[in-house]
Amino acid sequence: MLAPGFADGRPLARRLDAAGRRPEHPAVIDEARLRGLIRSIPDFPSPGVLFRDITPLLHDPTALRDTNDALADAARDCGATVVAGIEARGFIFGVPVAERLGAPFVPVRKPGKLPGERASVFYELEYGEGSLELHRDPSVAGRRVVIVDDLLATGGTAAAAVRLIEELGGTVAGCAFVIELTALGGRARLGATPVRALLAY
């Protein structure tokens, strides 16, 4: 078992027990075990790309619980009062984090998925342009929001989510990811936004 901490070196916050109190001992993440549950798939979805597949991690109930606990620690540390998950794998982790915090969850979605009044933001992709949307009601205005997703790569999607939340009057308290691909520089695109990642590659 490794000492408790995130890929950026900051310690994990202590978990809450069933009564909502912090236990005496901080949470410990078995980083080697987590890494062993993430498959590296070469040339997917295109030649030259090494895809980090979290499917085996999702298949392991204990590892999944520990991952969600650690992401919730990160969200709690930054004082988040709302959890935003980016479509689609951000939903997998964002909802359990919101449940652990007793906080609302808001889905940041691709175009055409939200039925109510919504705001949109456009951002550049390697080839073309992408867009994200967020409902105006329920509102994130005046709330501290943590953005949760499985992966931080180039940072374009996460940076777009930050802009979207800020345009709707929310404050982005931080971003929490399961994996960070450090060579792609995504953290730099998020500027002063605090970033936590459980694993760095």
pTM: 0.86
Sorting pLDDT into bands at 50, 70 and 90, what band is 125? confident
Radius of gyration of the chain (CA): 16
Number of helices and strands in the chain (H, E):
6, 9
User: Residue 59: how many CB atoms within 10 A of its CB?
Assistant: 10
Residue of 76, 10, 5, 72 whose CA lies nearest to 34: 5
34-87 tens-digit pLDDT: 999 999 999 999 999 999 999 999 999 999 999 999 999 999 999 999 999 999
Q: How far apart are CA 129 and CA 131, in angstroms?
A: 7
Query: With contact defined as beta carbons under 8 Å apart, do 154 and 180 qualify?
Result: no
* Options 24, 117, 126, 129, the catalytic residue: 126
| pLDDT attached to residue 159 | 98
Average pLDDT score over residue span 178-200: 97
Show the tokens assigned to 17: 């027990």
Query: Does the annotation mark 126 as catalytic?
Result: yes
Q: How far apart are CA 3 and CA 24, in angstroms?
A: 15
| pLDDT attached to residue 26 | 46
User: Residue 23: how many CB atoms within 10 A of its CB?
Assistant: 10
Show the tokens assigned to 181: 């691909």
Query: Does the annotation mark 196 as catalytic?
Result: no
Percent of the chain residues topping a pLDDT of 90: 83
| pLDDT attached to residue 3 | 35
User: Which DSSP letter does residue 139 get?
Assistant: -
Per-residue pLDDT at 8 exceeds 60: no
Q: Which fold has domain 79-200?
A: Rossmann fold (3.40.50)
Residue 66's contacts (CB-CB under 8 Å, 6 or more residues apart) are 27, 29, 30, 34
- Round the average pLDDT of the chain to a whole number and report it: 89
Selected residue with higher pLDDT from 125 and 191: 191
Widest Cα–Cα separation across the chain: 50
Show the tokens assigned to 123: 């951002």
What are the backbone dihedrals phi and psi of residue 69, each rounded to the nearest 5 degrees, phi first? -60, -45
* Options 33, 89, 144, 189, the catalytic residue: 89
User: Residue 192: how many CB atoms within 10 A of its CB?
Assistant: 5
The domain segmentation of the chain, as residue ranges, is: 79-200
